[in-house]
Each structure stands twice: as C-alpha cells, then as structure tokens.
Amino acid sequence: MTTPYDERPGFLRLLSSLFDRGGVHHARFPTRLPSNLPGIWFDASIEVAWQHRATGAGDAEAAKRHVCARAADVTAPMSVLDLTTAQFQLNAQLAQPLPVPGTSVLVVNASAALSVDPEARRAAEEHDRYRAQTEHWRLLRDTVFADPVMACVWWLDGHPERLEKLPNMDAAFERLAALTTSGAGRGDDLMHVANLLHQFLAGLEAVDRQRLIDSVGYIMTNFGRPDLADQLRAS
C-alpha cells in the first residue's frame, strides 16, 4: 500500500529507492562476538535481512560479514557479565540500515540474540575477582602499609587477641612502611623484603596466613604467572 506521504527521513527514503529493485532476503546464522577480555566470547544467533539491485552469489556472505563486523565493534568493549546491556546496545545498532561498502547490498536490518557459555562466564568472573584483589592489595600498599600506624590498625582489626604480640611487630611495620614509601624493589633489597614477609607471616594465625598466601597467589596468576602461584601454595 502506498501512503500519500513518506514520513521516513530523507536518507532512508533514498536508500530504499535505490534498493527497491531487489526483494528482501533473510538469513539466520550462529557466530561468536568478542568481549572486552581476550579469548572470552559472546555466542550470538544473528538474523539479517538484506536486498540488492543485482543478483550475485556472494550477496548473503557480504551481508553476513558486514553485520558481524559491525556487531563485533559493539560488543568488543563489553563484558560477558553484562549480557542484557550488550544485547540491547547491539540490537539498537543493528536495527539501522547498513549499506555494504563496495557492493550493491543493503542490510535492511538485523537482530541478535546473545548468550554466554558457562565456562566463559566463570572465566570473566574469575578475572574480575583477580582484578579486584589486585586493586585491594594496591590500596593496602599505598594507604596502609606505607604508614606504620595504619598497618598496625589493619593487623589488629577484628583480632584484639593480637595486641599482646604487637611489641614484636613494630619493627616489621616500620620496615614495611620504609620499603613502601621508598619504592624499594632493587636487587639489594630483595633479601630484606623476604625477611620482612617472613616476620609478617610468622605473626599471623594459620587461617590468616593461608588467606594471605591465597591472595598473593591470585595476584601472581592475574599477572600471568600461575606457575609461581602454584609454587607459593605448595611451599
């Protein structure tokens, strides 16, 4: 049915007039789309509608490739843990006409249904935990360990029974603060750092010592050294 007035924007009317000579074709296909983490993907089922002015065997593949490239641009900065937002933003972009450069193909519209494999979700959740743990330890380094008083308060927090051990820990807190504020990390300080950590661990109960070792292991894994994390946990 022809309406007396076409209310579509001029650009869309122009695209439509250029491609009205060909019928609308449809295809549905599965694919994977990138997320913000390397190797972790969205699973997608994409439906695409396209039309063309000249028949060609490559029309369908051209439409699919173009839609996949556009979809990848949308999902690449997004987390698989934010599936609802990713799908909403992706479909908002795919709803617009997409001329395929260098061809007579126009993608009239497309839509996508996203899902995430449980293994990919677990990997993303683990990465977020590692990142949060790293930020936590960085905060401790910068705001707690740099101040002997703050380090003491942190050590005593929730453990009033440790108060009697405090005189034996003063030197460790002072040395820890000195190393933190001076940025010490050179080879001639490594033994001092090792001795300091040994003193610090010796002053902790078994459950707190294991929690600290696990946390450091997470950080090592997050920085690409799971081998060191395994050695630490086995020591």
> Average pLDDT of each block of 10 consecutive residues along the chain (235 residues)?
45 49 82 92 94 64 91 95 95 91 88 94 88 79 72 72 70 68 51 62 68 73 71 70
Distance (Å, rounded) from C-alpha 26 to C-alpha 107? 10
The side-by-side arrangement of strands in the sheet containing 41-52 is 25-34, 41-52, 105-115, 98-99
Residue 28 has a pLDDT of 93
Residue 201 has a pLDDT of 65
Q: What is the CATH number of domain 10-116?
A: 3.30.479
Residue 160 has a pLDDT of 74
Residue 32 has a pLDDT of 95
Residue 98 has a pLDDT of 86
Domain with CATH 3.30.479 in the chain: 10-116
**Is 102:70 a contact under the CB 8 Å cutoff?**
no
DSSP one-letter code for 120: H
Question: What does residue 61 show for φ and ψ, rounded to 5 degrees?
Answer: -65, -35
Compute the 3-state secondary structure of the chain and give helix, strand, coil in percent, each to the nearest 5: 60, 15, 25
Q: Name beta bridge partners: 62.
A: none
Distance (Å, rounded) from C-alpha 156 to C-alpha 87? 47
